[in-house]
Amino acid sequence: MSLLGKKKPKEAEGQEPVDADGYRRRSTVNERHANVRQKASRILYTTDEEVRDALVEFAVFIVFLVLTSLVTLSVRHSYMFYFNDTMKKLFTTREMVIIPSVTVSFEKLLTVPDWWDYLVYNFLVTLHGDMTVAGVGATPVTVDQKPEKTRKKREKDKRENVDDEEPDFEAKQAPPGNSTHLDGRVFLHENLMLGPPRLRQIRVRKDTCFVNDAFIRYFNTCYDSYSASAEEIIKSHGGAPFRTMKELDSTPLWTVLNVYTTGGYTIDLTYDKEANLKIVKDLKNNHWLDRGSRLCLLEFNLYNENTDIFQSLKFIAEIPPTGGVLPQSQLQTVKHFSFISDKSLYMSVVYIFWYIMVVYYCINEFNEIRKTGAKKYFKSILNLLDCVILLMCYLALVYNIWHTIKVKNLVSNLSGEHYQSLDTLCFWNTIYVDMMAILAFLVWIKIFKFISFNKTLVQFTTTLKRCAKDLAGFSLMFAIVFLAYAQLGLLLFGTKHPDFRNFITSIMTMIRMILGDFQYNLIEQANRVLGPIYFLTYILLVFFILLNMFLAIIMETYNTVKSEITQGRSQLGSYIYKKLSAIVYYITHCGRRRQNRDTIRQPDTNNQEFTDDPTASSRFDHSKVHLRRNMTEAEAHYFEDVPSETANKDMYRLNNRVSLLEEILEQLVTNMDTILKRVEKDVKKNK
């Protein structure tokens, strides 16, 4: 059994002309009987038994789909976006006035002196509050005092204090300019800092590149761009000791220019504003950042107990070999609780039932492998997809166990006065969230297995299957032209146009141009001769010719599929109608069941009453025959009167009879497996 339903053995699966779609393809009788059944990729609705099994499978799948959606949505908290957005606006977007008409903000940093000004006049002011307003009760709180107490103990203290004395609102109200005051370790009144902020620098060695003799008088040393071989690793720099990435419990930094897989020289700040100002000014005066610096990083972490969210904040000043500063920020949020430690009873029940269904489907997959064999089992894409889904479910469980242990160790170290790193937790949480997103996508996509009752959807999926090879072949030519234009744009405009600054960005710009999102002015300004020619040839060749050829391939295949596929016999509607009618009849007739009337009952010629005599049809007019419902087109055509204008009525009846026999044989071959199963069941019952 697959993840979404039972997988039939190879000898019991769909054949022509009844496809796995549940639709018929026009073919000869010999083709219908000669084709071999192959594995069905969709649920069939040709018999009442198949309809019943399919509805049960679909109901179970819907339960699994709902549970999966709830579980995957729970990995993100609804307030994570607002938490990140607030901190980003607070530390990167907001401008602070240094002197009249001169402001500083993180996003507008251009030079290293701007970075020092940002730390002194923006970051520390925001972190500790307005320097021009003295805060009430600004005495730092020690580790053992209020901000470090557990939530339950603080709530108990509040309840006891309410009965003892009236609150003094005037004394507790902070000045308007002190809304972001760092009272001990509490930031914005709601967030606890996990250790003081930390400055980290990554450097390269001098003389790591070649200097021309003509310029030695101006530059006696040369500093290359960052690489693992050019990195400077000494005991300390400017009083900051070097620590490896393992010692810092950090992860690689992916920035605009490079990926930094190292630790660096670190300096820890404090919770006191004056002490931090002194540290930053000393570093600036001692030229802690010089020509060998390639990256300076300011990082700290917060915990919001109202929402149980950890947040990691990194503000990066990347220094390229050409000079200047490239400001970047990385903000990540992680939930405190996992599947195992979640305090919500509702979500705990959801997690339990979800893994019960995962184990159930896993057992079914093992049974399927045992029956069909591993070699045949893994040849099916559907089986591989089921295995990927189940594997992701178990990986999610492994991560949540690790997450619980990691957070427990982190919380146990909060009493220390050193920086608490969340890099490893954030890194694996990002991978986990991405995995859960892919899991939700795959489970939702699997619902297409149940669409065979809709002809349009079957035509859509069949069209994609038919034209896949043609599209793959044409995509090769399209990719060659596409990459050629991306390389051409990089060489022509890469030094002046920001959308062509590197090869990957050029490829994305090509895609954006197809969608109409581009800046033609910058293309023309970058190269006034070749710019317009580049743009016009790209639009004509790629947009008007190649893309329309894609559409032509798809449309031609769709027309072919549409002419071949006709509506087959689907018992889904009639089965549901019969069941609903039986329920309504049972309710309206006080629990009595409706009698079975599958036989063709004929009215007697004398009293016009019904009789079960099958020979009665020869004794009265055919127009009064009450035929059974759900007849096929061939059956209905067989029982119609012969038109009066027909020249050879015998030949007309013979053609109708042959058509009916062909359809009966077709149904017999299609449903042979079902018939044999029913016979075996009857034999077992009789024994």
Find the range with the poorest average confidence among 47-51, 94-98, 105-109. 47-51
The distance of Cα 394 from the centroid of its chain, to the nearest Å, equals 17
Q: How far is CA 267 from CA 121, 240, 289, in A?
A: 19, 6, 13
Give the list of residues 6+ apart from residue 312 with CB closer than 8 angstroms, or none: 299, 301, 330, 331, 332, 333, 334, 422, 423, 426
For 618-640, b/e burial (b = at least 16 CB within 10 A) is eeeeeeeeeeeeeeeebbeebee
Q: How far apart are the first and last CA of the chain?
A: 28
Angstrom distance (rounded) from CA 359 to CA 682: 33
- The amino acid occupying position 23 is Y
Element containing residue 329 per DSSP (H, E): strand 326-335
| pLDDT score recorded for residue 653 | 76
The tens digit of pLDDT for each residue in 489-526 reads 999 998 888 889 889 999 999 988 888 888 888 888 88
Q: Which DSSP string corresponds to 496-509?
A: T-GGGSSHHHHHHH
| pLDDT score recorded for residue 350 | 92
Angstrom distance (rounded) from CA 4 to CA 660: 36
The tens digit of pLDDT for each residue in 582-597 reads 677 667 766 565 555 4
Angstrom distance (rounded) from CA 376 to CA 174: 72
**Around Cβ 278, how many Cβ atoms within 10 Å?**
12
Q: How far is CA 126 from CA 185, 309, 348, in A?
A: 14, 21, 40
| pLDDT score recorded for residue 113 | 93
Angstrom distance (rounded) from CA 410 to CA 75: 19
Beta strand pairing call for 293-304 and 198-203:
antiparallel
Long-range contacts at 338-347 (CB < 8 A, ≥ 24 apart): 338/399, 338/400, 338/401, 338/403, 338/404, 338/407, 339/71, 339/396, 339/397, 339/400, 340/400, 340/401, 340/404, 341/404, 341/407, 342/74, 347/70, 347/74
The token pair at 403 is 């997450």
Question: Among all chains, which residue has been given the structure tokens 């997450």?
Answer: 403
Q: Is the pLDDT of residue 598 over 60?
A: no
Angstrom distance (rounded) from CA 493 to CA 497: 5
The tens digit of pLDDT for each residue in 522-559 reads 888 888 899 999 999 998 888 888 888 888 998 888 88
Residues 604, 616 contacting (CB under 8 angstroms)? yes
Angstrom distance (rounded) from CA 386 to CA 362: 9
Angstrom distance (rounded) from CA 586 to CA 192: 64
Query: Looking at the whole model, is its pTM more than 0.85?
Result: no
Q: Is the pLDDT of residue 452 over 70?
A: no
Long-range contacts at 353-358 (CB < 8 A, ≥ 24 apart): 353/67, 354/64, 354/67, 354/68, 354/70, 354/71, 354/393, 355/393, 355/397, 357/60, 357/63, 357/64, 357/67, 358/390, 358/393, 358/394
Angstrom distance (rounded) from CA 463 to CA 466: 5
- The amino acid occupying position 72 is T
Give the mean pLDDT of the chain. 77
- Whether the link from the prior residue into 147 is cis, omega within 30° of 0, is no
Bridge partner list, 199: 267, 298
Give the pLDDT mean for 123-131.
Answer: 78
Among residues of the chain, what percentage have pLDDT more than 90?
35
The token pair at 653 is 């009846």
Q: Is the pLDDT of residue 181 over 60?
A: no
Q: How confident is the model at residue 327 (pLDDT cuts 50, 70, 90)?
A: very high
Q: Which DSSP string corresponds to 601-636?
A: -EE-TTT--EE--GGGGGGS-GGG----SS--HHHH
| pLDDT score recorded for residue 491 | 92
Give the list of residues 6+ apart from residue 565 with CB closer than 8 angstroms, or none: 19, 21, 23, 24, 25, 455, 458, 459, 462
* Helices assigned H by DSSP within 467-591: 468-493, 503-514, 520-526, 530-538, 547-564, 572-588
Angstrom distance (rounded) from CA 225 to CA 330: 22
The tens digit of pLDDT for each residue in 141-150 reads 333 344 334 4
Q: Is the pLDDT of residue 486 over 70?
A: yes
Beta strand pairing call for 236-237 and 240-243:
antiparallel
- The amino acid occupying position 436 is M
Q: By C-alpha distance, which of 281, 310, 309, 301 is closest to 198? A: 301
Angstrom distance (rounded) from CA 625 to CA 330: 79
| pLDDT score recorded for residue 612 | 44
| pLDDT score recorded for residue 663 | 79
Q: Is the pLDDT of residue 606 over 60?
A: no
Residues 10, 39 contacting (CB under 8 angstroms)? yes
